[in-house]
Structure 1
Amino acid sequence: MRRTRWIVLGGCFLAYLFDALEIVLLSLALPAIRVDMGLSVTQAGLLATATLLGIGVSSVMGGYVADNFGRKKALIASLVIFGLFTAAIAVVPNFTVFLILRFLAGIGLGAVWSVVSAYVVETWPTKSRGRAAAFVISAFPAGGALAAVISGQFLPDWRLMFLVAGTAVVLPLFIVLVFFRESATWAADRAAHVADVVSVRDVLGGSLRRRTVLGTAMAALALTGYWGATTWLPTYLTTERDLPPESVALFVMILNVGMFLGYNGFGFLADSIGRRRTIILTLLGVAVTMPVYALTTDQTALMWLGPLFGAFTAFFGLFGSYLGELFPTRVRATGAGFCFNVGRGVSALAPFGLAGLAGVIGFSGGLIVCAGFFALAAVVALLLPRNGVQAADPVAGRTAELRRDATATT
């Protein structure tokens, strides 16, 4: 069991690293894509929006597959989908096809989060689940740092860059196919509910409705701030802070180092003081540091402030364990995936909206607006259960399943 636990941890980290790589590469490539295809700022923002809309759709599709057919099959399907449609960008003929491909890739990209979060919750004991989930999701900033390195090597040839990134997904796909076993917790629960078909209705009805709605609202607000800020950060640095394009990759890489350290550091803290408290702390932290970053004009100060506010985006990693614990095994991927990915779907408007705001108040003003969304997310988090794994099973009215979930891997 211990060996399985570590295989899941490493494999899920790698799968999510490639997931992050595909998302962040688009942000870094937008300046080159705009020049090459003659796109406006609004059109470029729509490319990011299309990706997030696809991610929103995956909240239903990914959770349905994972809860009804297994975590492993769902993860394999997700990797194949986003790898294939990312590689296809290499031959995209026009803006419309580009939008469609990003939407389809987004379906696979969003489903990965749902599955890896469920895998970690179901294979790691409660006492270390927060740090384990945070480590897996810290693959996102690690993927962002890798994206900065890759973009520096390939840009302005963004077509070749996406071809290489898409085909490289065969690496995590191979690991999942060969070394992963199906979640024992899911398999046992599925055997007990063999006739049941899980759907979104299961998490939108009864006593689960409140936590689903609040969890979705928290994720939507936090991710609106996150995607609004990070999508346009390279453009902000070049247009308003006069950084040369070759320096942006370094800034983004340092920022992602701060994110990686923050995800893992706050993951340990979450296991000590609780997931929800740590989420609130990080949301308030980024709400305070983001405006400071936006108003700073000194380039050296910007370089070192980036990792500071980046560290506070650790809520992104903590959502994995916290949202997963809010739902029982039978609907875990559906419930957690719905909250997080519908939140990401709602946040699809953020890149487009910030592009519009930039014409009025500048990108720095837009970043300050994003900080307000983080603060609102912290308020919503206060309304959610303090520790989902200790709550009674809201579906069956029993504590047995949650107790089994918490101790299955100890």
Structure 2
Amino acid sequence: MEKTQLAMPTKTRWYDGLTADHWRVLRGGFLGWIFDGFEALALVVVLVPMLKSLLTPEQAISTPVYAGTVIGITLLGWGVGGLVGGIMADYVGRKTMMLWSVLLYALFSGLTAFSSTFAVLCALRFLTGLAMGSEWSTGVALIAETWPEQARAKGAAFLQSGFGWGTLLAAVVWSFLASTHPLGAETWRLMFIVGALPAVFVLYLRRGLNESEKWQQAVRERRWNATTNTEPRHPESSRQEGKRPFTLKQLFTEREALRRTLLTLVLSIISTVGWWAISTWLPTFTVSLATAQGISEAASWGTRISIFYTSGAIVAYLLAGFIVDSIGRRAFLCLTFVGALVTTIITYRYTSSLVSMEIIAPINGFFTLGCAYVWMAIYPCELFTSTVRSTAISFVFNAARLIAWVFPIISGSMIKTFGGVSYAAITMSACYVLGVIIPWFLPETTGKGMPE
């Protein structure tokens, strides 16, 4: 009797079908996001010597207030720039906004190195934030609309990892500069030069990127609905008259779009507030542990633990695309916030030595910085259509900063109110409880593709 041999289905790998163009898009977004990450941490690590150089003796009396102000203004600029740039990308294109973002970022970041007064510094930090803001949403939208379905989440997570590599690079560069002091007390200025110059190279690379065909086609066909479950108001008249609804307004006038926007925004606020509190206060808390143990050069442990923390986030970025495709978007979010809550309590309540801090810091970074941010590069793209996608994801990502920017300014009061850094951080981490619940009120999109 002749046996029939059944053909076994060929097992496809996640990167099958990716072309040089796909990798070029990822490389351009990834490198740009590296410089954003570098810029974000550079401001934090040079804060003390920078303010010592720029503040007058009278201003130096209130150094914590000025420190919080410059960080808050940067976040404010980042939030405004991200929102405006994201909206514009839905009108002029993803590639155009990416090019302008890098060009202006390189310009204003470089000029920061020549700040002569605190007022000039704040103005340049706000302008740098404006330029950096649209970097993320345009890169994410371009990845989402050009990469194939089976690789899209991985590509978005890899792009997000650029921020982690950038912050790690900033910590390493500052560690070197702080130990060598090539410009003495003015060495902090070199951090902004280092961050600005390579951006010119990224600008050159991005000139060769192609515009998103999905976005172009959606605009040509005048598909103005914000989600697949709703239709635009008065669609016939809009198409006949050639009028396009304002994208930001669509997010708040279409019922399903409004629901998705508000729920994901709350999740974004939770991620941003939680990360801000934990990452900002972690170096200070670590230095206090080192001082209590009588460690010489205790201050250096603040930078060192930031590297451990960021390393954990990078691991999360590299693994997140695979995890989220395996367990689903909502389960991933739930796991993220449970992990963030538990590890934050362990970090600030039960960690009493530098050895234990070296162990828990990267685990905490895995959840509070890595997982807590990477979902924004994957999930919101799957909730909105091409003609409003950049607006939606930039609003979700950046509107949180329009709320969180005030926290650095009032951080000193918060620490005093809660009775210390550890109590303040644990109290702030309570917001993660809400993050465990909200995902289950959003649609599961794993394997369903993106609305067009």
Give TM-score scaled by structure 2 length: 0.82
Kindly indicate whether the alpha-carbon contact (under 8 Å) linking 1:130 and 1:321 is maintained by their aligned counterparts in 2: yes
Q: Residue in 1 aligned with 2:439? A: 381
Which residue, out of 214, 228, 231, partners 2:277? 228
Q: Residue in 2 aligned with 1:408? A: none
Kindly indicate whether the alpha-carbon contact (under 8 Å) linking 1:221 and 1:373 is maintained by their aligned counterparts in 2: yes
Which residue, out of 325, 338, 351, partners 1:271? 325
The verdict on how the C-alpha distance between 1:389 and 1:70 changes in structure 2, with shifts beyond 3 A counting, is farther
Kindly indicate whether the alpha-carbon contact (under 8 Å) linking 1:221 and 1:374 is maintained by their aligned counterparts in 2: yes
Q: Residue in 1 aligned with 2:251? A: 203
User: Partners of 2:439 and 2:52 in 1: how far apart?
Assistant: 41
Kindly indicate whether the alpha-carbon contact (under 8 Å) linking 1:283 and 1:374 is maintained by their aligned counterparts in 2: yes
Code of the aligned partner of 2:188: W
Deviation beyond 6 Å, 4+ runs, structure 1? none
Which structure has greater helix proportion? Answer: 1
User: Partners of 1:285 and 1:180 in 2: how far apart?
Assistant: 37
Q: Report the Cα offset of residue 339 of structure 1.
A: 0.9
Q: Residue in 2 aligned with 1:168? A: 198
User: Rg larger in 1 or in 2?
Assistant: 2
The verdict on how the C-alpha distance between 1:47 and 1:70 changes in structure 2, with shifts beyond 3 A counting, is same
Which residue, out of 39, 44, 47, partners 2:67? 44
Q: Kindly, what percent of the aligned residue pairs are identical?
A: 30
User: Partners of 1:81 and 1:40 in 2: how far apart?
Assistant: 29
User: Partners of 1:3 and 1:110 in 2: how far apart?
Assistant: 27
What's the RMSD between the two structures over aligned residues? 2.1
Q: Residue in 2 aligned with 1:397? A: none
Which residue, out of 29, 34, 38, partners 1:17? 34
Which residue, out of 39, 48, 71, partners 1:31? 48
Q: Report the Cα offset of residue 232 of structure 1.
A: 3.4
User: Partners of 2:92 and 2:446 in 1: how far apart?
Assistant: 25
User: Partners of 1:34 and 1:238 in 2: how far apart?
Assistant: 20
**What SS does structure 1 have at the residue aligned with 2:423?**
helix
User: Partners of 1:370 and 1:388 in 2: how far apart?
Assistant: 31
User: Partners of 1:197 and 1:152 in 2: how far apart?
Assistant: 50
Kindly indicate whether the alpha-carbon contact (under 8 Å) linking 2:333 and 2:435 is maintained by their aligned counterparts in 1: no
Q: Report the Cα offset of residue 167 of structure 1.
A: 2.5
**What SS does structure 1 have at the residue aligned with 2:113?**
helix
Code of the aligned partner of 1:168: P
Q: Which moved more, 1:84-93 or 1:30-39?
A: 30-39
The verdict on how the C-alpha distance between 1:47 and 1:379 changes in structure 2, with shifts beyond 3 A counting, is farther
Q: Residue in 1 aligned with 2:374? A: 317
Code of the aligned partner of 2:420: G
User: Partners of 1:287 and 1:15 in 2: how far apart?
Assistant: 31
Q: Residue in 2 aligned with 1:340? A: 397
User: Partners of 1:332 and 1:65 in 2: how far apart?
Assistant: 11
Q: Residue in 2 aligned with 1:371? A: 429
Q: Residue in 1 aligned with 2:263? A: 214
Q: Residue in 2 aligned with 1:184? A: 213
1:288 aligns with 2:342: yes
Q: Residue in 2 aligned with 1:259? A: 313
1:73 aligns with 2:127: no
Q: How many residues of Structure 1 are paired with residues of Structure 2 in the alignment?
A: 393
Which residue, out of 15, 21, 24, partners 1:7? 24
- Give CA-to-partner distance per residue, 1:238-259, whole Å, 9 cap, x none: 2454362333333222221111
- Give 5+ residue unaligned stretches, structure 1: 392-400, 406-410
1:246 aligns with 2:300: yes
Q: Report the Cα offset of residue 219 of structure 1.
A: 0.5
Give TM-score scaled by structure 1 length: 0.90
